[in-house]
Structure 1
């Protein structure tokens, strides 16, 4: 029977889904990027590993055999204490999308996947033919589907607060060793989830290479546009029919952009990953020198006189990205590329 996992109501403002924590059908409104900008090379997906032991090798593109290990298991820290997992798992089932993305970044194709995964070309290609382990209409886990895949490792994330936890841990651990890591509002801790996933599957070295590429790109943007970034306050928002959301540096995308030198305006004093406001509060963005939003938000925003009257809007300094809520180094690195392009455009127009 399906086991309820999504949505996490405490993380989802009413009327709109501000982060990919709800069922896939509702998430399509966010329209995450349908394009990979060369991500396959970055992620190593040109020679992806498979977690299916029937594949005969861990990296079918290279023809190499599964990694040998002197130990048969390792201990990893999780929300439920230390858990013993296989040293070289071959049939991995992630039950939440951040772990799906992290595995793909590391060159591992799981034997099962969540219905919702950010619409990112490299990921979509790698996941072709991989069955979903949840119900497409609700996002609820289908325990029988997970069990049928005969996993040797199950990984995912959940709230640290036991009162909010939704993952059926007791049931999952009867199927296979299960490692559950802490989720934070607006996916602000995606780097920690990536690191924990890498540790659980023995791919920390590969993760370090991804981290280095990401850090170098952030540093390059921060240095190249230092004067512009010092002089400009940005705000990151999205909008629906009746309200809009303001994001802080503690959101997943806010963390990425702040690391590349973006300084927030109205969102600077906000500790929550996001806060929702009525449309009558759009004027609080008046000090922003530039605004980043989503393509799907623009029709709602353009219909609001308070938005069109903002200095940044009048100056043509509104930029869009579909890469809200990056949950992996692959998508976060693509977001850095887009932010660098925004900075270049803004600098030319200054």
Structure 2
């Protein structure tokens, strides 16, 4: 699968693991530590003092204020940016113009790479002299890296945790809870504003989020559901009840969307559409779906929400749709 396409999720583990895998949608490339003037730490001497934190691989000792952090999956990198920290190392295929906001791409495009997602190169990691390594998917692969620096592992694939719970754990690992609080408050304020301004449109609409799949399949569900529900939007009956699951459907089951008045499907930041979703949009059965016929099916760039900056972007895109209702 091209690194510019979205993953093909048959369940939550496969979906999230796919995004983390670089050849999937947030396929987050990379090489040198990025430069910017907005206050992020870029490195420096390792912290002299330490503290103990709880992770899914046990209690570990980490620097009091980590500065040189290696992200072993794409989501880690995006979360660290939200916390004001540019990682010193990321997996191959992390910075993609089509798959992230320009500001995130600018910060990640020159960061050194450490090997393919799920297959970190220990020598490449060691050369970066990290004081902390973070991971959410590849416990067995990243555990040996603890000989280089502490590894904070927070299992996203099996835990059932939502994105905002995962970034809270990341904030604890890098000791940046204040940055997390600031980002969360900004997001919550924006959600309240949109709920108040578009209360009528929210009340009268029913939404679904989907992506195309292979062999005549499509998938209902996305981490974006958390944002939709916090905005008070009603979700269509065919979508998984929780915010973490995904339902596989065939094109012949597109009528499951008939109760929806608004559909959001995977878009990309360069305006393109992943091939599998493009196939879905060209299908004659898709064109018969009521929301599609009514002109209320829209691409959304911030489909793979993993952090508050992505969630804020999603709110902006959803607001633009609400204005049309």
Provide the TM-score with structure 2 as the length reference: 0.82
Match of 1:273 among 245, 262, 281: 245
- Aligned-partner Cα distance in 1 for 2:114–2:72: 7
Q: Which residue of 1 aligns with 2:262?
A: 290
The CA deviation string for residues 307-337 of structure 1, in whole angstroms up to 9 with x for no partner, is 2111111111111112111111111111111
Check if 1:263 corresponds to 2:237: no
Aligned Cα root-mean-square deviation (Å): 2.8
Q: Which residue of 1 aligns with 2:73?
A: 96
- Aligned-partner Cα distance in 1 for 2:156–2:213: 25
Q: Which residue of 1 aligns with 2:284?
A: 305
Q: Which residue of 1 aligns with 2:225?
A: 254
The CA deviation string for residues 249-288 of structure 1, in whole angstroms up to 9 with x for no partner, is xx41111121112211134553452111111111111111
Q: Which residue of 1 aligns with 2:194?
A: 221
Residues 89-168 of structure 1 aligned to structure 2 (within 5 Å): 89-115=66-92, 116-117=94-95, 118-135=99-116, 140-158=119-137, 166-168=139-141
CA gap 1:307/1:12 in 2 versus in 1, 3 angstroms: closer
Give the unaligned 5+ runs of structure 1: 1-9, 33-44, 55-65, 159-164
1:21 is displaced (CA, Å) by: 2.7
The CA deviation string for residues 79-119 of structure 1, in whole angstroms up to 9 with x for no partner, is 01221100022211111122211211122112111232542
1:78 is displaced (CA, Å) by: 0.5
1:343 is displaced (CA, Å) by: 0.6
Q: Which residue of 1 aligns with 2:150?
A: 177
- Aligned-partner Cα distance in 1 for 2:133–2:126: 10
Provide the TM-score with structure 1 as the length reference: 0.76
- Aligned-partner Cα distance in 2 for 1:303–1:310: 12
Contact preservation (8 Å) 1:187, 1:327: no
Contact preservation (8 Å) 2:82, 2:308: yes
CA gap 1:31/1:221 in 2 versus in 1, 3 angstroms: farther
CA gap 1:12/1:313 in 2 versus in 1, 3 angstroms: closer
- Aligned-partner Cα distance in 2 for 1:267–1:234: 10
CA gap 1:182/1:285 in 2 versus in 1, 3 angstroms: same
The CA deviation string for residues 205-235 of structure 1, in whole angstroms up to 9 with x for no partner, is 1110100000111111112111211111111
Aligned length: 296
CA gap 1:142/1:50 in 2 versus in 1, 3 angstroms: same
- Aligned-partner Cα distance in 2 for 1:325–1:189: 12
Check if 1:245 corresponds to 2:219: yes
Residues 3-22 of structure 1 aligned to structure 2 (within 5 Å): 12-13=9-10, 18=15, 20-21=18-19
Match of 2:60 among 83, 102, 108: 83
Q: Which residue of 2 aligns with 1:161?
A: none
- Greater share of residues in helix: 1
Match of 2:315 among 299, 318, 336: 336
Check if 1:208 corresponds to 2:181: yes
Q: Which residue of 2 aligns with 1:42?
A: none
The secondary structure found in structure 2 opposite 1:102 is helix
The secondary structure found in structure 2 opposite 1:98 is helix
Contact preservation (8 Å) 1:100, 1:114: no
Give the unaligned 5+ runs of structure 2: 1-6, 29-35, 268-272
Q: Which residue of 1 aligns with 2:31?
A: none
Contact preservation (8 Å) 1:51, 1:92: no
